[in-house]
């Protein structure tokens, strides 16, 4: 039996235990993460938290809907056990009828056969080999970019103020994207909470004049390092700052059981950039249903 529970009805210990031990665990699904990024969220639960499906929700103009909360790439059904297609379908069908719009990003272990899905692309890089072995799988161009960045007078700083990196993004790429200010505020709070839990690493790159020219946030759990957010100005782009930072993360975590999750992308140049580090492609589904 699948139950629909409100956030207040949830047994947080059992819920987080399910996420932590799931074969498809994602940091986005932990209660602390959802509490920060969602307006509100409820959960579908089966067999005393053997299977769970968190659902970010909103209500606008009297209409209830399930939505994509910011700073989340994949949710869906989580469990330590195998997740069959029929099970995913049964969870989707158990979403209460009051939700007139369902907009859910499932995870790579959630397969569903429906006309209401879009296939999305992600890239991951297992870090269980030595740095030398991983580096050999960089493309020729990426190797050159890393070497170019290493020859410059740049300094990588850990633990930099996240708001300065967010502002750098807003002044550069953010000017094109027109992202909501509220989403940036949520991101800043998220990083603060993640820092308190030791679930994030912040990297910044400073030039010879002590100016910030690039930075990134990497979420960390027991299974994955997730490339959540990055910022560059023109100088950072020209000096291959992001190649330098990602190479640094790979070097620091090589030989571990962690996976570097690039969090995308469907945009070809970005996908090519991730692939150039030797990352492999995986797919996940975007499920969307209107009942208005």
**Residue range 76-130, pLDDT digits in tens:** 999 999 999 999 999 999 999 999 999 999 999 999 988 889 999 999 999 999 9
Considering 61, 80, 113, which residue would you say is the last residue of a domain?
113
| Total count of domains within the chain | 2
Do 78 and 160 sit in the same domain of this protein?
no
Q: Is the dihedral of CA 139, 224, 34, 232 positive or negative?
A: negative
Do 137 and 200 sit in the same domain of this protein?
yes
Q: Is residue 289, in this structure, part of any structural domain at all?
A: no
The SS3 assignment for 4 reads: strand
Q: What percent of the chain has pLDDT over 70?
A: 99
Domain span at residue 94 reads 2-113
Q: Is residue 118, in this structure, part of any structural domain at all?
A: no
Considering 83, 113, 143, which residue would you say is the last residue of a domain?
113
Q: How confident is the model at residue 205 (pLDDT cuts 50, 70, 90)?
A: very high
Q: What tokens does 206 get?
A: 């400073």
Do 204 and 106 sit in the same domain of this protein?
no
Do 100 and 155 sit in the same domain of this protein?
no
Q: How confident is the model at residue 65 (pLDDT cuts 50, 70, 90)?
A: very high
Do 146 and 246 sit in the same domain of this protein?
yes
Do 176 and 34 sit in the same domain of this protein?
no
Question: How many CA atoms within 13 Å lie on the side-chain side of 38?
Answer: 25
Q: What tokens does 100 get?
A: 């007139």
Q: Are 167 and 211 in contact (CB under 8 A)?
A: no
Do 160 and 229 sit in the same domain of this protein?
yes
């Amino acid at each position: 039996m699948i139950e629909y529970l409100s956030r207040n009805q949830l047994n947080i210990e059992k819920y987080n235990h399910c996420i932590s031990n799931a074969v498809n665990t994602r940091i986005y699904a932990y209660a602390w993460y959802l509490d920060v990024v969602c307006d509100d969220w409820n959960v579908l639960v089966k067999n005393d938290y053997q299977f769970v499906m968190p659902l970010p929700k909103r209500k606008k103009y009297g209409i209830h809907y399930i939505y994509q909360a910011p700073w989340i790439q994949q949710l869906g059904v989580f469990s330590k056990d195998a997740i069959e297609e029929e099970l995913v379908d049964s969870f989707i069908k158990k979403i209460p009828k009051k939700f007139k719009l369902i907009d859910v990003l499932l995870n790579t272990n959630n397969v569903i056969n429906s006309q209401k899905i879009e296939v999305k692309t992600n890239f991951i890089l297992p870090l269980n080999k030595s740095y030398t072995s991983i580096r050999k799988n960089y493309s020729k161009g990426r190797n050159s970019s890393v070497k170019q960045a290493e020859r410059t007078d740049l300094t990588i700083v850990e633990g930099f103020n996240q708001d300065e990196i967010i502002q750098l993004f807003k002044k550069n790429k953010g000017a094109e994207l027109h992202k909501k200010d509220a989403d940036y505020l949520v991101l800043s709070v998220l990083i603060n909470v993640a820092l308190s839990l030791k679930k994030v690493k912040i990297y910044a790159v400073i030039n010879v004049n002590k100016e910030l020219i690039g930075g990134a946030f990497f979420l960390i759990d027991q299974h994955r390092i997730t490339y959540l957010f990055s910022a560059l100005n023109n100088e950072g782009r020209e000096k291959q700052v992001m190649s330098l930072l990602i190479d640094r993360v790979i070097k620091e975590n090589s030989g571990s059981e962690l996976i570097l999750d690039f969090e995308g992308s469907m945009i070809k140049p970005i996908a090519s950039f991730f692939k150039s580090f030797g990352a492999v492609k995986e797919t996940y589904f975007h499920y969307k249903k209107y009942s208005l």
